[in-house]
């Protein structure tokens, strides 16, 4: 079982107990809620159906309250995934055939697979396929009776009980890097269900998970931690990392059902107001050159949000959203900024090479040499790589450091004292130069002696 599968199981377990651990319950409410949770059938991480006993739920709650989200991770030696007796592509095709026609029997499914040459005749047993289909809820009764429950209007009972998050493709700005081109600006918001107060709203150029998390982090810094977050099934809301963040915050994560926009009317109504009141004015400012950058757009949007929206009387409860949020006395659960930053760290697995190096976002980093040739978990902020935590088997190691290449020609370093020693005093004497002077002296002496001798000889001759 790899890390991604273990994290998916931990997210599944947290999703079961989130209604219990994300809020304070009165005496007796926890057991009643646990019985309610245990009475349902859930879609497990392997695609099958699963029931959870009260004893198991009690263990999950205890583990979470003592060790947090990480305590819900299964051990590395947990039971292996099922369905290994049937090749994955064959089982996928059998499920598709059953979904297409729920009335098809197991024997008929096997016949279709054999005639289509997906399996060799006689190799696929009815009992094996039947077991796997039942395990995944692919029965005739389940498929024919999978209708959604009736939708009812809902409103949270207090502030921060439920935040709704959404993204709108709002308007186009001048492209920051391509003159003459346009770039789509996405509006990301988190709105309080009880008060309709927008906890944080900001424009971004990319609809990515990191932008969603940035908006959520800013909302929490300003207004505390929500009990529940309600979002759709878009890719940016369905990442394992986003689920893990909610688990570590003790926040329940809910998704709207596919094809069921009901329950998301509050965000849609807000976005309609943005389209009617803000967008036309923003385009006028863009044409006048007063909005050219994302920072300009967010500055004007912040003023519009504070004055035009938050101070507007809401038709449903006849209050301004800002007053309804601020006057509610339900306590706000907060978290220190430095702890919140750790909660939002992205976590990925990397394998260190033989030199103890890993690659992260295209940049090389060094880890401890003892981790060479091993897989490690790194936790980091994709917008700030100044801190990169390194974890191995649940134990935090030394943080990764940017790789500094060394000159192979300089294998040794001189001691600091030797490099800093002042140069020796200069004598001004040079051996070769002294030899030249000595040569000249000897030549002068030789010439003087020859001259003296010549003079003596001349005097004697006279």
Grade residue 99 by pLDDT with cuts at 50, 70 and 90.
confident
Least confident of 2-11, 87-96, 185-194: 2-11
Task: Note the pLDDT tens digit of each residue in 331-373.
Answer: 999 999 989 988 888 888 899 999 889 998 888 999 998 999 9
Task: Note the pLDDT tens digit of each residue in 100-126.
Answer: 888 888 888 888 888 888 888 888 888
Residues 6+ apart with CB under 8 A from 307: none
- The radius of gyration of the chain's CA atoms, rounded to the nearest angstrom, is 37
Phi, psi of 306 (to 5 degrees): -70, -40
DSSP state string for 209-271: HHHHHHHHHHHHHHH-B-SEEEE-S-GGGS-HHHHHHHHHHT-EEEEPPTT--TT-HHHHHHH
Q: How far is CA 61 from CA 18, 73, 164, 350, 360, in A?
A: 9, 13, 25, 31, 35
Grade residue 234 by pLDDT with cuts at 50, 70 and 90.
low
Whether the pLDDT of residue 82 is over 50: the answer is no
Burial of 374 (0-12, 13-18, 19+ CB in 10 A): middle
194 closest CA partner among 281, 317, 284: 317
Grade residue 83 by pLDDT with cuts at 50, 70 and 90.
very low
Q: Do the Cβ atoms of 61 and 25 come closer than 8 Å?
A: no
Task: Note the pLDDT tens digit of each residue in 281-327.
Answer: 999 899 999 999 999 999 999 999 998 899 888 888 889 999 999 99
- Count how many Cα atoms sit within 13 Å of the Cα of residue 100 in the half-sphere of its side chain: 8
DSSP 197: -
Grade residue 209 by pLDDT with cuts at 50, 70 and 90.
low
Q: How far is CA 33 from CA 44, 69, 157, 182, 417, in A?
A: 20, 20, 18, 51, 71
Task: Note the pLDDT tens digit of each residue in 25-42.
Answer: 777 888 888 888 888 888
What's the rounded Cα separation, in Å, for the pair 19 and 64?
13
DSSP state string for 102-155: TT--HHHHHHHHHHTTSS-TT-S-HHHHHHHHHHTT--HHHHHT-PPPPP----
Q: What is the pLDDT of residue 151?
A: 40
189 closest CA partner among 168, 172, 205: 168
- Average pLDDT value for residue range 231-244: 74
Task: Note the pLDDT tens digit of each residue in 242-256.
Answer: 888 888 899 988 887
Task: Note the pLDDT tens digit of each residue in 362-375.
Answer: 889 999 989 999 99
Whether the pLDDT of residue 140 is over 60: the answer is yes
Mean pLDDT of the chain: 82
Burial of 416 (0-12, 13-18, 19+ CB in 10 A): exposed
Give the number of residues written for the chain: 462
Domains of the chain, first to last: 3-72 (no CATH), 88-144 (no CATH), 163-327 (3.30.420.10), 345-402 (2.40.50)
Q: What is the pLDDT of residue 78?
A: 38
Q: What is the pLDDT of residue 360?
A: 86
């Amino acid at each position: 079982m790899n890390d991604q599968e273990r994290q998916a199981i931990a997210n599944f377990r947290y999703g079961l107990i989130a209604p219990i651990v994300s809020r304070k319950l009165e005496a007796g409410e926890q057991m009643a809620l646990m019985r309610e949770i245990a009475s349902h059938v859930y879609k497990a991480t392997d695609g099958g159906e699963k029931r959870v006993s009260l004893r198991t739920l009690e263990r999950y709650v205890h583990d979470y309250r003592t060790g947090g989200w990480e305590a819900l991770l299964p051990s590395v030696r947990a039971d292996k995934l099922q369905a290994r007796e049937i090749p994955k592509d064959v089982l996928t095709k059998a499920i598709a055939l059953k979904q297409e026609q729920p009335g098809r029997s197991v024997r008929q499914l096997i016949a279709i697979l054999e005639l289509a040459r997906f399996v060799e005749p006689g190799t696929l047993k009815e009992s094996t396929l039947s077991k796997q289909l039942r395990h995944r809820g692919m029965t005739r009764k389940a498929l024919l009776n999978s209708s959604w429950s009736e939708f009812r209007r809902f409103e949270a009972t207090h502030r921060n009980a439920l935040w709704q998050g959404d993204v709108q493709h709002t308007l186009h700005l001048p492209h920051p890097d391509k003159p003459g081109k346009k770039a789509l600006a996405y509006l990301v918001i988190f709105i309080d269900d009880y008060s309709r107060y927008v906890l944080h709203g900001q424009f971004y150029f990319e609809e990515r998970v990191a932008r969603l998390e940035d908006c959520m982090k800013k909302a929490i810094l300003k207004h505390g931690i929500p009990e529940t977050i309600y979002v759709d099934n878009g890719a940016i809301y369905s990442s394992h990392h986003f689920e893990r963040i909610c688990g570590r915050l003790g926040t329940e994560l809910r998704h709207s059902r596919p094809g069921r926009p009901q329950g998301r009317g509050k965000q849609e109504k807000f976005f309609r107001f943005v389209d009617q009141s803000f967008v036309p004015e923003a385009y006028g400012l863009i044409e006048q050159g007063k909005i050219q950058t994302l920072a300009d757009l967010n500055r004007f949007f912040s003023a519009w949000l504070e004055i035009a929206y938050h101070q507007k009387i809401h038709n449903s409860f006849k209050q301004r959203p800002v007053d309804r949020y601020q006057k509610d006395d339900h306590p706000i659960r907060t978290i220190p900024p430095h702890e919140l930053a750790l909660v939002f760290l992205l976590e990925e697995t990397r394998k260190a090479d033989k030199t103890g190096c890993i690659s992260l976002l295209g940049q090389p980093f060094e880890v401890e040499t003892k981790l060479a040739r091993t897989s490690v978990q790194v936790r980091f902020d994709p917008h700030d790589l100044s801190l990169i935590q390194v974890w191995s088997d649940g134990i935090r190691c030394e943080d990764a450091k940017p790789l500094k290449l060394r000159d192979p020609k300089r294998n040794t370093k001189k001691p600091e004292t030797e490099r800093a020693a002042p140069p020796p005093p200069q004598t001004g004497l040079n051996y070769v130069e002294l030899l030249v002077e000595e040569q000249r002296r000897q030549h002068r002496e030789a010439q003087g002696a020859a001259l003296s001798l010549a003079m003596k000889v001349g005097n004697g001759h006279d």
